[in-house]
Structure 1
Amino acid sequence: MKTAYIIDSTADLKEEYRDHPDIFLVNLSVIFENGDVFEDTKDENKVKQYYARLKEEKVPPSSSQPTPNQFYEVFEEIIEKGYTDVIGILLSKKLSGTFQTCRMIMDEFEDKINTYLVNSSSTSYVIGSMVEQSMNMLEAGLSHKEVVENLEWVAKNQDTYLTVKDLKNLVKGGRLSATSAAIGTLLRIRPIMMFDDELGVKLFDKVRTDKRVVQKLQDVLVEMATKFKEKLDVVVIHGDNEALATNIIEKFKEKYPSLNYQTFYLGPVLGVHGGYGCIGLAFIPRKDS
């Protein structure tokens, strides 16, 4: 029995998993107004170049999901390499059509390989954590069905938040009116958005300073660490705002030093919506421990 994993380019992985032979990647991309295509990437130098350009663009770029052909190529490679099972773990189906495209192609291969598809209900290291947990659970002897059920539990119980530095990004994304953004900017309001399975993204709270952002998210940390008895992954992702991301992790470690903390740059595709300076944060319960 040999298991492959399909993830998308919004996923973040620990360094030791980035070149894992069982993990196969499909790429999303960003398209600028002039037609330039910027492929989603985790290369920090390229990501910094992207955010530098994003600050200068008057019209926000759009994101593009993987083509069906990308999925066909990945499935054919997986089958050719002798895998018996494949688990797809992809970004929230409320944020992209990537999940549905994978489902459509996966159905065509179900007579050649055992297929399982999981909606992460999020993105970034939520996907990375689920891949790691899945590998650990299979190694511990759980069946693929049991693993998928546990991953769906993780997806249901994780919480992901996003706060933007510039409210105009929410206007561009159609989630805030220009008038509300102008008033919010004047009052220095920082909305904290929360990923939601039904709505995609919803308002969680409104604060006025970075300090209050950290305090509010620290309250969530206490709640989640208590609920899951500190069996928790915590990830901070940022749109070229490393100082604030580091500050959040340091504050969290004062309260819970033993948790698994990760920090990543927000990739180009997710950066379309969050914009320069944004902060994303996810609390991911561990089912494999």
Structure 2
Amino acid sequence: MSARTVLVAGDANVDLVLRGDVVPRFGQAEQLADSGDLALGGSASIAACGLARLGVPTSLVARVGDDALGRFQLDALRAAGVETSGVEVDPITPTGLSVILSTADDRAILTVPGTIPTLRAGAVRTALTATGARHLHLASYFLQPALADDLPALLAEVRAAGVTVSLDTNWDPAQKWEGVLDLLPLVDVLLPNLAELRAIGAVAGAAGPDLVVARRLAALGPRIVVKAGADGGWSVGSDDAPVHAHGLVVEVVDTTGAGDSFDAGYLAALAHGVDDEGERLRWAATAGSLSTLGSGGTGRQATLEDLRPR
């Protein structure tokens, strides 16, 4: 049976990934990095590419500028097999750009938003109708205030139509984490990393071990699927036992987008009809681990062959 169609909504910016001695020293000091790559970026775009490479019919709704970076992003999305008819081209506002300063075990990100904050709910509604998608994945919530304002009404409509919803908020640059709790009753799957889990939990007044925090958030509606870096991931509902999956032991090249590839692995398992939660998490943890073997978020994303049990 073919996989369900997934619509991904969110950011479509280009990443400039620098590795090596990347901690800036001001005072007009020049330093030499080991390498630099221009790559497809944006949490939504990376997740969409990961889904497409895992055999899931995937469309992206986002906005880019009418410029060289926008054309670069569209070409990369199409090459990965993502349907881009829902990506709007803005004739005035430039495409967003992120500079990623990457080390083996951490990274810092500087982002020029550009077109990222200009996506609106109307474009998502249009894309859902055009694609017939049965699952909607939302990414980079805090970079898109215009869309965020409309999401409660949009998600209520979507859920009423029988479309399932997942959300990866990503980090809040303002560190206020406003609005997320109102969305959780309208979300089927929340996909935070550990830092995001703790930050959202703090807003909810949840304290204590991570599992306790996750259960508190799950009581609001969604299953909580947590990205735990080198430890893989785990998930829990409001009243069931947690499920864990280990990541692979790999020689890390770049962690950029690993969480987005984790999302893609989990959502691909859902789209392909995988019923076992442990197997869904294995797909997610494997996809996230393999992503770190290449430069940028899409340099080494998993295929279905990679995810077959060994």
TM-score of the pair, normalised by structure 2 = 0.34
Which structure ranks higher in relative contact order (CA pairs < 8 Å, sequence separation ≥ 6)? 1
TM-score of the pair, normalised by structure 1 = 0.36
Higher helix proportion: 1
